Amino acid sequence: MRFTNIIVLCLLSIAVKVAKSEGKGKGKSKSGADKHEEIASHLEAWESWLKSSSMSMSVPTPKPQKKPAKPVVPTASPTPCFGTPTDLLKILSQVSTRASLLAPNTPQHKAYVWLSNDRVYCYNDPKIIQRYIMALTYFSTGGEGWTNCGQNATTSACDTNKCKQTGRFRWLSTSSECLWCGANCNVTNQCITAIDLDSINQTGVIPYELQNLTILETLAFQRGTIKGTIPATLGNLKELKDLDLNFNNITGTIPDSIYSDTSLQQLDLNDNDLVGTISSKIGNLPNLFFVQLGNDSPSGKNNFIGSIPSEVGTLTKMVVFTANDNKFFGPLPNLSKLTSLEFLDVSNNDLTRRIRNTNWASMPNLQYADFSGNKFSGSIPDSFGSNKKLEYAAFDHNDFTGIMPLQICALRLGNLKNLSSDCSSPPTPPQVACVFPTCCTACFN
């Protein structure tokens, strides 16, 4: 209706102008002029009515209809900074497989969904990868069930005294991942240098994507129920100094790649379910000072076999070496060069032969030495008598013979509080002659 009125109005306006024009033309009689004026007057009346009518008869303009967007999981509104979930998927596919990112309930998918709703880093910031890997670590090790500083405050307390590194905030909080409990970053560029979690009910598996934290120095998941194998990709962490996975349920062998982490100082794998041998390539780790491969609790199931490589005797910085309760066999390598050694435990294996090939006097800081439960033979070396700091020495349940050296007995007047050997009778005489209790504090047969 409105458009029809406008057209008629335009035509009437033209007609009015023409009528007025003709009324003023040359050669027109007065009566003709009057007639034209009358027509113009009628036309103007119609024009006025149509104008008022056109204002009241409006037709609503239809609104444009938007096409429904295709469903995207997870959903997020794209912005110049963050982009779309598809953009994020492309970025994360650089470190995790696309299939794992899209498969429901995988740790990778959970981390992807969480990060798509996170707004700490723009997608073009390289730190987005770091934040993803930290979130992935959380989900991979059962973060939803952590007993300390998990995301959910209703199910997880956050005792900052249990946070071993500088981080003190809950995981997956809006704070920087450098500040999450047990995490630490360097000052220069805020890159993760440590992940250190202990006794917070860690489960699940260790994600292989940790290899992308290229300057990681400490990786510690202690006293949990983590299973699966040690990712071979950890061998790509050239700055790694401390690998501490003790008291878990980790299976498989020590990956050969670990022996290429030349910065490694601590290899703490005791009380797991590991098998296999210790590679001679351990000699490629000159900075090692702390190695634990044994079992100290009833739940420990490590079952290493083979010999203790002679290359262990070249690790001159060694302070602690334990390989107890395994199936190691053969002779103990010459350890004379381990002049910093303080703690040695090779008990309960199948080790044989003499231990006199080592100059035990070369270890002035030796405090603990446990050789019990093997098949060592020969006499007990008197060179132990030079270890003035020695507090514990166990030689029992072996094939040692002879007399406990007087030099060792003399240490009982100092720091040596526990000294055991096969000094019980029968048989008569005992395998090892040692006066109880003034010299030996425990005798076995």
Spatial contact of 347 and 325, defined as CB atoms under 8 Å apart: yes
Contact 254, 276 (CB under 8 A): yes
Does residue 312 or residue 20 have the better pLDDT?
A: 312
Average pLDDT over residues 391-401: 98
Specify the amino acid at residue 213: L
Q: Above 90 in pLDDT, residue 9? A: no
Q: In what order do the strands lie in the sheet with 192-198?
A: 183-185, 192-198, 218-222, 242-244, 266-268, 290-292, 320-322, 343-345, 368-370, 392-394, 418-421, 442-443
Report the run of H or E that residue 114 belongs to, with start and end: helix 107-116
Each residue's pLDDT tens digit, 126-176: 999 999 999 999 999 999 999 999 999 999 999 999 999 989 999 999 999
Cis before 74? omega within 30? yes
- pLDDT > 90 fraction of the chain, expressed in percent and rounded: 80
* Tokens at 294, concatenated: 């044994």
The reported pLDDT for the residue numbered 82 is 85
Three-state SS string over 3-27 comes to HHHHHHHHHHHHHHHHHHHHHCCCC
318 contacts 338 by C-beta, under 8 angstroms:
yes
**Nearest of 383, 392, 395 to residue 414 by alpha carbon:** 392
Look up residue 412 and give its two tokens. Answer: 């009982």
Task: Compute the average pLDDT of residues 254-259.
Answer: 98
CA distance 345 to 348: 9
Residue 244 and residue 419: Cα distance in Å, rounded?
31
Q: Which two tokens stand for residue 205?
A: 């598996």
Euclidean distance between CA atoms 386 and 43, whole angstroms: 131
| Confidence at residue 237, expressed as pLDDT on a 0 to 100 scale | 98
What is d(CA 134, CA 216) in angstroms, rounded to the nearest whole number? 12
Note the pLDDT tens digit of each residue in 330-382: 999 999 999 999 999 999 999 999 999 999 999 999 999 999 999 999 999 99
pLDDT of 22 reads 47
What Å distances lie between residue 366 and 13, 111, 312, 317, 355, CA to CA?
116, 47, 17, 13, 16
Which tokens is 153 given?
A: 């405050």
Mean pLDDT for the chain overall: 88
Q: Burial-class residue 104 by CB neighbours within 10 Å (0-12, 13-18, 19+).
A: exposed
Q: Cα separations (Å) of 433 from 183, 373, 409, 429?
A: 54, 18, 11, 8
Residue 49 above 90 pLDDT?
Answer: no
Average pLDDT over residues 111-130: 96
The model's pLDDT over 172-200, given as tens digits with 9 standing for 90+, comes to 999 999 999 999 999 999 999 999 999 99
Those residues with Cβ within 8 angstroms of residue 336's Cβ, 6 or more apart along the chain or in another chain: 313, 358, 359, 362
Residue type, 412: R
